[in-house]
Structure 1
Amino acid sequence: MARLTLWIRAGTDGLNCGGDPAAHQLFMLMLWKSELDPKLKFDVKTVNEARPPQEFKDAGLRRTPALLVDDDTALSVEDEIIEELDRYGPPREGTSEADDVTSDLFRTFAFFIKDVKKEPTALLGELRRIDEFLRSTDTRFLRGDGLSHLDCIVLPRLHSIRIAAKVPRTSFFSRCTDWIFRK
């Protein structure tokens, strides 16, 4: 039984979890998988990267998110961390319509936030696609009524988009997300 330690960037207070969507995604995956696989035991520790603790440095880590496996294997590439997490819990589901519907969401959001695309048209289109998909399936999550690997990837990204939508320039957001953010 492996003991995993997920290191994530601390927020502005230097203690609590910061706003990194990749860290949120990894934490959500670990939490979901640990509920389905009792062999997965993990800790989550925050790091102020300007003053990392000695334990973080001793593991050979320099940036977050990072994963330490049994105090001897350190991973700091997101894909490698996900590959390690995929050893636990249910296997990743095959490609589905939900994958297709969400595939361009974060790319279009990044283009919009970085002002590559000044108009929200592409982002609105992606949000509408997801909203219409959820409306047509009438399920709580993307692949059904239970959480899935895909939900653990998409939900933190939607959260980032929702936070960005509070900026006056992005007030368009609520017009197309009835089903995405329903209670």
Structure 2
Amino acid sequence: MKEDMDPDTGVNGTTNGDIPEVELIIKASTIDGRRKGACLFCQEYFMDLYLLAEMKTISLKVTTVDMLKPPPDFRSNFEATPPPILIDNGLAVLDNESIERHILKNIPGGHNLFVQDNDVARKIENVYNKFKLYLTKRDEGSKNILLGHLKKIDEHLGAKGTRFLTGDTMCCFDCELMPRLQHIRVAGKHFLDFNIPSDMHHLWRYMKNTYQLDAFTQSCPADQDIINHYKLQQGVKMRKHEELETPTYTTSIPREVTEDLYCITL
């Protein structure tokens, strides 16, 4: 199934002059097999390419594939290779590192997204792994380790004073971090009753800035798909009524955080 996106960005087959078309195949929802799934890498590269489509350097087509029932042409072309899969001018790029390298070196405008910042890379590289550890152990020690990593990102954003991790425009690091923060927010609340602390003002402002961008909202999976992603990892079966639920998307800022941010700006 092909997702419908904003035609002004040149996605999903909308051509803008002679700009090249790039296709990204992503995993479909494990609930309905049609909408966007909760694969972190799929959303990360979706965001990268969406930003380039907004800059009119490419036309982007996004295709979702139900990996429980992949269509015959997918099986014949890619065998057991799971998405994300990037197709550029007939060339299929199949693994994550190669996709990232291809966007950097071969997709028009891609080099603008991939800035060099070793400090930022170090600060964000382990935050998701610490969340997974907390999901497994469910103890105060692993919770505090996760909070420590989030605090470092919050402090970095405060010291930097910019909208995003390296400046006032999004880069590859933001496309990597924000999907993981969304999983931490949604799955953390559901499974652990964990909330990103409201006093991490710089981190919440960063999330608010990202929630306002189409690159994130168009690529973001439903809350139910994020939750089901971890249920499947834990061997928990989906209940029938979950298939019938209207998908929800947590992209608002908690009221107490909004009030705090307002007071800080006064």
What is the alpha-carbon distance in structure 2 between the residues aligned to residue 164 and residue 174 of structure 1? 15
Identity between Structure 1 and Structure 2 (%): 25
1:71-82 matches, within 5 Å, as 71=90, 73-82=91-100
The alignment status of 1:108 with 2:126, answered yes or no, reads no
Q: For residue 4 of structure 1, what is the aligned residue in structure 2? A: 22
What is the alpha-carbon distance in structure 2 between the residues aligned to residue 168 and residue 68 of structure 1? 36
Q: CA deviation at 1:37?
A: 5.4
Unaligned runs of 5+ in 2: 1-18, 209-266
Q: For residue 35 of structure 1, what is the aligned residue in structure 2? A: 54
Q: CA deviation at 1:168?
A: 5.4
Distance 1:172 1:17, change over 3 A: closer
Q: CA deviation at 1:2?
A: 4.4
Q: For residue 178 of structure 2, what is the aligned residue in structure 1? A: 155
Q: CA deviation at 1:93?
A: 1.3
Distance 1:60 1:96, change over 3 A: closer
Distance 1:138 1:121, change over 3 A: same
Q: For residue 64 of structure 1, what is the aligned residue in structure 2? A: 83
What is the alpha-carbon distance in structure 2 between the residues aligned to residue 3 and residue 22 of structure 1? 20
Distance 1:116 1:66, change over 3 A: farther
Which of the two has higher C-alpha Rg? Answer: 2
Q: CA deviation at 1:76?
A: 2.2
Q: For residue 169 of structure 1, what is the aligned residue in structure 2? A: 192
The list of structure 1 runs, each at least 4 consecutive aligned residues, that deviate by more than 4 angstroms after superposition, is: none
1:127-138 matches, within 5 Å, as 127-138=150-161
Residues matched between the structures, number: 181
What is the alpha-carbon distance in structure 1 between the residues aligned to residue 62 and residue 127 of structure 2? 27
**Counterpart residue identity of residue 105, structure 1:** V
Match of 1:165, SS state, is: helix
Q: For residue 262 of structure 2, what is the aligned residue in structure 1? A: none
What is the alpha-carbon distance in structure 2 between the residues aligned to residue 51 and residue 171 of structure 1? 34
Q: CA deviation at 1:149?
A: 1.4
Q: Bigger CA drift: 132-141 or 163-172?
A: 163-172
Equivalent pair of 1:65/1:76 in contact (CA under 8 Å): yes
Deviation digits for residues 12-37 of structure 1 (CA, Å, limit 9, x no counterpart): 11111011111110100111123335
What is the alpha-carbon distance in structure 2 between the residues aligned to residue 58 and residue 43 of structure 1? 20
Deviation digits for residues 139-180 of structure 1 (CA, Å, limit 9, x no counterpart): 110011111111111111111111122125242532453221
Q: For residue 122 of structure 1, what is the aligned residue in structure 2? A: 145
Structure number with higher helix proportion: 2
Equivalent pair of 1:36/1:90 in contact (CA under 8 Å): no
TM-score (norm 2): 0.61
**Counterpart residue identity of residue 202, structure 2:** W
Deviation digits for residues 111-149 of structure 1 (CA, Å, limit 9, x no counterpart): 222338763111100000011111222211001111111
Match of 2:203, SS state, is: coil
Unaligned runs of 5+ in 1: none
TM-score (norm 1): 0.86
Q: For residue 17 of structure 1, what is the aligned residue in structure 2? A: 36
Deviation digits for residues 59-107 of structure 1 (CA, Å, limit 9, x no counterpart): 2243122222233x22221111111111221422112432232232122
What is the alpha-carbon distance in structure 1 between the residues aligned to residue 192 and residue 138 of structure 2? 14
